[in-house]
A and B are shown apart, each in its own frame.
Chain A
Amino acid sequence: MRRFLSAFAADHDTAVIKPSALPPKEISRLIETVSLSIENPLLKLKFIHAALDRYAHTCRVMVVPSLDAKLTKQVLLEALDLLVPGHRIIIADPETALAAEKPLRRIRAPRLSQMTVLIGLVLVMSTTYWVQARLGIKAHNAAVPIYRWATEGLERKSESTPHSSISAKLESPADWGVRSAKAADSSPQATYDAASLPEIWMVEEKSGYEFYSNGLNISTEFAVAGRPRRYRTFDRADGALSEIKERPAGLLYHTSEGDVAPFERRFNRLLNRRTRELLQYIKQDHLYHYVIDRFGRVYRVVNETEVAHHAGFSIWSDESDVFLLLNQSFIGICFEGRWSESLNSDPPDGASTSATLRVITRAQLEAGRLLTDWLRQKYHISDSNCVTHGLTSVNPQKFLIGHHLDWAKDFPFRDLGLSDKYQKPLPSITEFGFAYDDFFLQVMGRPWPGINLAMGQLQARADRDKISYETLRRKLNRRFAHQLAQLRGETEGDKDFGRADLSQLTNALDGQP
């Protein structure tokens, strides 16, 4: 930290440091939370400096959205560690010991027992909980925006020039990923048909859980009543608005993106605690229908026939229908885990189980399969409507895909008995002319094959209609705004929809050729 401070300690200017050099609010708040529990002023000062310093080091190499939570924890622990040698730490809450593994060992070393520090380590628990609450779960909704904030400079410019047909041409889908796609697609269609599964029935229902014949065990301890589903879809061919529907049409997979404890025996208690906190939070805000914890336990939160707020602005379509605002029509399944964990690994693939297992545990994968099978069978959900949040989430104002990115790659479609949606032309592009921007590329490395396929289709269509790709895009963008407007009355209670400023959206479009 010396570097950080000495540069300023004797600074003679009125303005000493730019706030931009300070970490984002979320991080500062976290540092504050921790340091509030440190009583010794000097140690507190050292801790703050160390934390800021670590942060300054680390944030430069941060390339991943929603990494903040993990990073911060690491930053804080390192900072603490710096203080620990030669000092005694008192841990207020014994349970935090689990998380504060290192300092704890130090405490036990006898020769260090004449020491001085008093750190009310409500810390790691309270903060990680805090992280989880602020950055994590909510950040499932907020993490990417947080990152966006951090890369603002980079991003603003690029958003005005979304990538469109150019990259579709440059990066032909043949480059990569297609072989696996072919392999997947050539396997008999029946594989993905839920009707072909042996019948699954409820074996037993007790207070607190339901047990099914395929081994699926659903805890209902956290179940909460919601608002019934009522939604309409658009006909893919002619855009006609459908009747009101109430049956769940698809499955949408998420990750919690919250802070997760290492999957090790010694963190058992912490793992459990995190899950409980996550569930409480999800229950409170009706965020998902199902949660699958690190041990593969399945929890029902919101009933499938009711609405959960998991999808935000989102687009999907099957062969016949186009779905907008998937909260209304899809069942949200959240894997407790951090998808962003897999980001620095390989290019989007969708086929590699090892990449998937960086995000979720094998137990989660297996539970995910059981839950998927049962839900698909129960509601006659077709394979084509089993998709991930990252594939469907959009920014409607800017007509950009990838607003949320959870499971934008590495989702184990095949392991769940589903076809690989990364290989399917992306509906938000084919139907509504959405695009991606530089930010998306920064995070993803490259678009998944379905994006290129979709752009290729759009380009072909533009060529056929003898208009430019851009003109076609605009036309489709307008169609999106129009359709969204039609849903307005239908989805009154939907808070995501409520947030949309449609007039702004249509204005933006009116200015276009």
Chain B
Amino acid sequence: MKAEKETPESLESVETTCKPENGLAAIGLDIGTSRIVCSQAPTEFKTQLNAFIGVAYSKFAEQMLQRNGIDFYRHNGELFVLGDGAEKFASMFNHEVRRPMSVGLLNPGERDGFEVIQLILRRLLKKPKPGGSKICFSIPSAPCGMETSLVYHENMIKRFLTELGFESKSLNEGLAVVFSELANENFSGIGISFGGGMCNACLAYLSIPILTFSLGKAGDWIDSSVSVVTGESATRVRVRKESALDLSAPPSHKIDEALHIYYEEMILDLVRSLTRSFVESRNLPTLDKPIPVVLSGGTSKPRGFREKFENALRATNFPLAISEVRLAADPLNTTAKGTLMYAMYDN
């Protein structure tokens, strides 16, 4: 019996890209407590602080802003400075910025919060394409007892995006990290985002979220806790934290010392709660391979963070075997990248 010869004709290699060939334009949106990141292509990110500052209208203030090239809006007799400009403005006038969101969700104590988010989003998003544009935005897992707030938060955003003419859907932030970082592991593993308002984690197996989890303690909590014990303003704490903190070296400064303490406390709390919720969950599948853990988010950026986290994790009786703990490639944009991927999914 003679076998037939069968050879595929062309086997030349082609480039790979995530761009949709046709169909809707896709946008990934990470609406974080501290920053809003928008992504329309895998390596393209636009970001604005999710913050604002309002001062009573005066000619002087207006001129001052104009002279410094800071965008502002007049709103109900106030001047609103949004996004990154708010930071500049705040340091100029030694003010604290206001935040439309806290602990991952719309801030109920901030009357103008949602309006500000809308303005920031309008600034970040181009008009929807004529064929339609699809947005996927991140949402946290609700902290215990906050489920209804999450529903509100999610729907407010969805509604607004619809108003702007976008098709939208949401994606859990932890799962977004998994989508973004764990492709090589077939989307199996734990993704954690250490943000400003909260830490979000998701255990996924083959991209299916098995367990999601959040902790309402993250960058903001560190800032305010350090501020309380050192008497420095939270903004100054944050600036120092973002520019100089090294968790791998012993602290040499009072603020650093406090930052170390609260960083450690946050990590411990997260590892403990995560362990507990994994242990308590009767839903854990038995995985036959150790899984990776990926860390992302602004709060994971200081030197030595990964090591500190890994040590804490390895020191507990974590119910799943962990192969490695690694840092996301681009921690500040990880969530946005995951949402973009999921936005492109339907094309």
Interface residues of A (CB under 8 A from B): 2, 4-6, 8-19, 21-22, 25, 28-29, 31-32, 35-36, 39-42, 44-46, 48-49, 52, 86, 88, 90-91, 94, 97-98, 104, 107-108, 113, 115-118, 265-266, 268-269, 272, 295
Contacts and interface: CB of A to CB of B under 8 A. Distances in A.
B87 to A, nearest CB: 31
A10 B209 contact: no
Given A116-B17, A269-B6, A49 B205 contact: no
Nearest to A46: B345
21 contacts: A8-B209, A9-B342, A12-B142, A14-B211, A18-B283, A19-B283, A22-B208, A25-B286, A32-B186, A32-B188, A39-B16, A41-B341, A45-B179, A45-B187, A107-B10, A115-B14, A117-B16, A118-B14, A265-B4, A269-B3, A272-B3
Contact of B208 (A17, A42, A266, A272): A17
Chain B CB within 10 A, most for which of A4, A11, A295 = A11
A373 B178 CA distance: 61
Contacts of A32: 186, 188, 206
B213 A14 contact: yes
Interface string B190-213: 000000000000000111111111
A86 B21 contact: yes
A156 B209 CA distance: 30
A10 B158 CA distance: 12
A265 B5 CA distance: 11
B8 A97 contact: yes
| A interface: dominant SS | helix
A322 B11 CA distance: 61
A118 B211 contact: no
A492 B218 CA distance: 63
Nearest to A28: B206
B211 A15 contact: yes
Contacts of B4: 265-266, 268-269
B264 interface: no
Contact of B206 (A48, A115, A117): A48
Contacts of B342: 9
B288 interface: yes
B186 A35 contact: yes
B65 interface: no
A116 B187 contact: no
Dominant SS among interface residues on chain B: loop
Interface of B: 1, 3-4, 6-11, 13-18, 21, 139, 141-142, 147, 150-151, 154, 169-172, 175, 179, 183, 186-188, 205-213, 277, 281, 283-286, 288, 341-342, 344-346
Contact of B172 (A11, A41, A117, A266): A11
Contact of A48 (B7, B154, B187, B285): B187
Contacts of B288: 25, 29
A115 B207 CA distance: 25
Given A19-B283, A42-B345, A9 B11 contact: no
A95 B11 CA distance: 13
Given A9-B342, A19-B284, A35-B206, 10 more contacts: A10-B171, A11-B172, A19-B285, A25-B286, A39-B16, A40-B16, A41-B341, A45-B183, A108-B9, A269-B3
A42 B141 CA distance: 23
Nearest to A31: B206
A60 to B, nearest CB: 17
A107 B183 contact: no
Contacts of B142: 12
Contacts of A2: 346
Contacts of B183: 41, 44-45
Contacts of A108: 8-10
A104 B9 CA distance: 9
Contacts of A6: 169
Contacts of B17: 116
B23 to A, nearest CB: 10
A28 B175 CA distance: 19
A79 to B, nearest CB: 12
B186 A14 contact: no
A48 B186 contact: yes
Contact of A104 (B8, B150, B186, B187): B8
A94 B209 contact: no
Nearest to A121: B8
Contacts of B209: 8-9, 11, 16-17
Contacts of A116: 14-17, 21
B172 A9 contact: yes
Contacts of A42: 18, 341, 344-345
Contact of A45 (B170, B284, B345): B345
B25 to A, nearest CB: 15
Given A32-B186, A88-B14, A116-B15, A22 B8 contact: no
Nearest to A10: B170
A295 B3 CA distance: 13
B16 A118 contact: yes
Nearest to B171: A9
Nearest to B158: A10
Nearest to A86: B21
A17 B210 contact: yes
Contacts of B277: 14
A210 B205 CA distance: 52
Given A9-B175, A11-B212, A18-B283, A36 B186 contact: yes
A90 B208 contact: no
A15 B139 CA distance: 16
Contacts of A41: 18, 179, 183, 341
Contacts of A22: 205-206, 208, 285
A40 B147 CA distance: 35
A266 B6 contact: yes
B16 A4 contact: no
B330 to A, nearest CB: 14
B7 A16 contact: no
A86 B347 CA distance: 12
Contacts of B286: 19, 25
Contacts of B3: 268-269, 272
Contacts of B206: 22, 28, 31-32, 35, 48, 52
Contacts of B285: 19, 22
B210 A16 contact: yes
Contacts of B10: 107-108, 113
A107 B8 contact: yes
A12 B141 contact: yes
Contacts of B344: 42
A346 to B, nearest CB: 32
Contacts of A13: 212
A45 B209 CA distance: 13
Contact of A52 (B8, B179, B208, B283): B208
Contact of A98 (B6, B9, B154): B6
A343 to B, nearest CB: 29
Contacts of B147: 12
Contacts of A44: 183, 186-187
Contacts of B8: 91, 94, 97, 104, 107-108
Contacts of B213: 14
